[in-house]
Structure 1
Amino acid sequence: MPIDDDSCSTRRRFVAAGLGAATSGLLAGCGGSSADGDGTERSTATDADQGPETAAETDGSTAAGEGHTVSMSPVGEVSFDAVPTEVFTVFPQYLDMAVALGHGESVNSVYVPEMSGTTMNHYYHRLDGVSLEWEGLRDPLSDGLPKELLYELGSDVHLADPVWAAAQDNWSDADVDEISSQIGPWFGNFYSGTQAAPPNGDGDYRYYGLWDLFGKVATVFRERERYEALAQVHSDLVSRVQSNLPPESERPTAVRVTLASDGSKFWTYHLNEPGYWLADTRPLGARDAFAEKDWGSLWGSVSYEAMLEADPDVILHLWGLTPNYDMAKTRQQLENHSAGQTLQAVRNDRVYPAGMRYQGPIMNLFQIEMGAKQLYPDVFGEWPEYEDGSPYPEIPEEEQLFDRERVAGIVTGEGSA
């Protein structure tokens, strides 16, 4: 591919050193991909969602002059001589991280911008001064993962996993190395989402918790102070929730599912397994009605018969807070189905909208609060009625589980960290 030497020369100052050798089915109901892995291998590293590690453990960063380096699996050590100002993302957790660090305007792409951006703004609506202008963002997966788009965008850093990228159609390790050397380094870790085995069989691949990944991205942007302040909010939230949970035997059974568009089956996910895709449900400790199910992939599907057998107290409908699903229609489909209408969660009006599994730190705070209220209304206050397409519901200040004003101040830089 022809390369514009003038445009690329300014990008090469963001050099990756030690880059390891290096999508379909992203929404529920679209099936798996060759990059999914089988979920059977586990890292010896802990999945730390409870709060920040020490700075040295979290970033592995060093500074030399005006530059800095950040170390993370699977990319190794990545060197920067400036804070990136053009940032490529695929999945919205990294866009949410950039927004949280005050660098949302640097991002030039995200998966399904209207869906991702609208959902994020549903949360940001409750944070004064925080919003996302998503209309001009490019969708990196609208036509596979076109290498031409990455050249067109000319990003300083690609917040995406090179191992994941190499596993996409028409990509190879050589393509990944080309992008890193000609445009800008990769900096992402996809398979920590469920701690599935990477498709290249890399036994040295390390898994991280959501907030550890956030800490590393914060170091890329040289925003450690913002990260540590937000991580403290998260730690306080998790501590508050977990210290008030009822005994396990008294907790509700729950499932995390998405009703197929034709209403014929449910796409299913676990609640308490490792991985940052579960960073909102795992701290809540509900009893997973499908805990013994092994789908052999990142997700599975079950019939109404299986749902009736599990008969959970609560149904958390993943993607329910996004514009891609109409929760009123979903509930109606369940109520009109001969088997669905007999589910106790349907009978007791405990079918709730959940957020996105591709959650960054701000989304994670809201989704933990949302889940806590949906699962334990007697403890944390009831989840308000939610109207499809509306922002995250307004919750009385005394029933909020984290301080919106503090979070907004950290993100905008107008409050003390």
Structure 2
Amino acid sequence: MEPVGEVTLGEPPETVVGEWGFAADVITALGHGDTIAAMMDPSFWYTGFYEEIPGVPARDNYALPTLGAHDKLNREYVYELDPDLFALDPNRFITSYGLGESDLDAMKKGVAPFFGNHSRADRGDSWPNYPSGDSYQYYTIPEFVNKYGQVFGEQERARTLVEFYEETMDNIISKVPDETPTIALLSAFANPENFGYFGVDKTSPDNNPTYARKQYRDLGVEDAFAGEYAGEKSESEDLQIDAEKLAAVDPDIIVFREGIRFVDVDESNLTYGNLYEQTLDIIKSDPVTSGITAVKEGNLFVGGTDNQGPIINLFQTEMLAKQLYPDTFGEWHGVDETPASEQLVDRDRLGEIITGSE
């Protein structure tokens, strides 16, 4: 796997360190979710969908240790944990913790190999590109599944999972209507009271192989802010707007990106409180935004997380399909509220693949 090259393991890893949830979801899909021992930030790993899959153990992501606080890696803890594998792109340790190449070399030699590739979003010109210094390719979700399948000795399960994933996705995508509503993808975190603005993100990022917003691209949504994105992207959003701009664009539907991570979460785990609920309340009550079509028609929906492997992406595609096209896919009732007869993802079959009980 680029950029790490070929990695040789004597046996499948028993303790794994993850990043923000993507690799953890892939590894869970391969039946080895119990190997995830720590993460860079486990709060980004949404585990709620696993509760809908028969035989798949629920995971409390907030109970997992973190590798450090904010932008500082706890090296002593990492060496003490002594994992068998870092299931992440080593460049994330450079961009997040400020480590140098010599630090990464030492960790590979003294702790564990790295096996990961940052394909969540476009890496940008400032990306460090360790170890070769050259830019490297992006991978699709099925490619990641097959590569991690090799790591865990689950090649056959990986092939079966990819077949199920692609068939399910094709079945949903083939039914998408020609006419689509306009959608505004707003940050669940940013609002005028805490950041001084509403954050808007492109529904279809320029770099198509990335998986962060794959469901929006696959379902052919019409971005209400298309043509408005110009200049440099901010650290967190593609566009920053005020209430007047949101009202002027008047989207048919508003989806709150990353809102899923705030659903049914213990408030004690939230550093800044439930920002999604705060943003939602502001849009509903503000005299400027309360008249927006999406607000008046009740089309304000929780959005998915960017950190989606095969399981999360399947569920989030089903979720968005129902939110956008209820006449075609059935009404969206809420997280874990979809009747069995209206489900687009076969939970039983997925559970059989993950648990090996097929």
Tell me the TM-score normalised to structure 2 length. 0.86
Measured at CA, do residues 112 and 174 of structure 1 come closer, stay the same or move farther in structure 2, by a change above 3 Å? Answer: closer
Matched, 1:374 2:308: no
2:169 and 2:314 in contact (8 A); partners too = no
Aligned counterpart, 1:258: 187
Whole-Å separation in 1 of the counterparts to 2:66 and 2:249: 38
Shift of 1:401: 0.7
Matched, 1:364 2:300: no
- Secondary structure of the residue aligned to 1:277 is coil
Measured at CA, do residues 136 and 342 of structure 1 come closer, stay the same or move farther in structure 2, by a change above 3 Å? Answer: closer
- Secondary structure of the residue aligned to 1:187 is coil
Residue number among 257, 264, 268 corresponding to 1:318 in the alignment: 257
Whole-Å separation in 2 of the counterparts to 1:142 and 1:228: 37
Measured at CA, do residues 136 and 308 of structure 1 come closer, stay the same or move farther in structure 2, by a change above 3 Å? Answer: closer
Aligned counterpart, 2:216: 281
Total equivalences in the alignment? 332
Aligned counterpart, 1:400: 343
Residue number among 53, 56, 73 corresponding to 1:145 in the alignment: 73
RMSD value over aligned CA atoms? 2.1
Superposed, which structure 2 residues align to 1:37-52 within 5 Å?
A: none
Whole-Å separation in 2 of the counterparts to 1:295 and 1:357: 23
| Percent identity over paired residues | 30
**Structure 2 gap ranges (5+):** 263-269
Shift of 1:295: 5.7
Aligned counterpart, 1:299: 237
Whole-Å separation in 2 of the counterparts to 1:131 and 1:112: 20
1:104 and 1:132 in contact (8 A); partners too = no
Shift of 1:219: 1.5
Superposed, which structure 2 residues align to 1:11-50 within 5 Å?
A: none
Aligned counterpart, 1:271: 203
Residue number among 291, 294, 298 corresponding to 1:345 in the alignment: 294
Shift of 1:256: 1.6
* Counterpart code for 2:353: I
Superposed, which structure 2 residues align to 1:179-218 within 5 Å?
A: 179-190=107-118, 192-197=119-124, 199-200=127-128, 202-218=133-149
Tell me the TM-score normalised to structure 1 length. 0.74
1:304 and 1:339 in contact (8 A); partners too = yes
Shift of 1:163: 1.8
**Larger deviation: 198-207 or 275-284?**
198-207
Superposed, which structure 2 residues align to 1:80-229 within 5 Å?
A: 80-113=9-42, 115-116=43-44, 119-120=46-47, 122-134=48-60, 136-143=63-70, 144-190=72-118, 192-197=119-124, 199-200=127-128, 202-229=133-160
Shift of 1:156: 0.9
Whole-Å separation in 2 of the counterparts to 1:116 and 1:163: 18
- Secondary structure of the residue aligned to 1:256 is strand
Whole-Å separation in 2 of the counterparts to 1:140 and 1:267: 28
Superposed, which structure 2 residues align to 1:55-74 within 5 Å?
A: 72-74=1-3
Whole-Å separation in 1 of the counterparts to 2:332 and 2:231: 31
Residue number among 366, 380, 383 corresponding to 2:332 in the alignment: 383
1:271 and 1:282 in contact (8 A); partners too = yes
Whole-Å separation in 2 of the counterparts to 1:75 and 1:309: 47
Measured at CA, do residues 123 and 242 of structure 1 come closer, stay the same or move farther in structure 2, by a change above 3 Å? Answer: same
Q: Once the two structures are superposed, what CA deviation does each residue of 1:321-349 show, in whole Å capped at 9, x if it has no partner?
A: 22354755543221211222122111111
Q: Once the two structures are superposed, what CA deviation does each residue of 1:340-382 show, in whole Å capped at 9, x if it has no partner?
A: 2122111111010012111121111100000000011111001
Aligned counterpart, 1:24: none
* Counterpart code for 1:196: R
1:85 and 1:156 in contact (8 A); partners too = yes
Measured at CA, do residues 211 and 349 of structure 1 come closer, stay the same or move farther in structure 2, by a change above 3 Å? Answer: same
Whole-Å separation in 1 of the counterparts to 2:243 and 2:345: 37
Whole-Å separation in 1 of the counterparts to 2:138 and 2:246: 31
2:86 and 2:112 in contact (8 A); partners too = yes
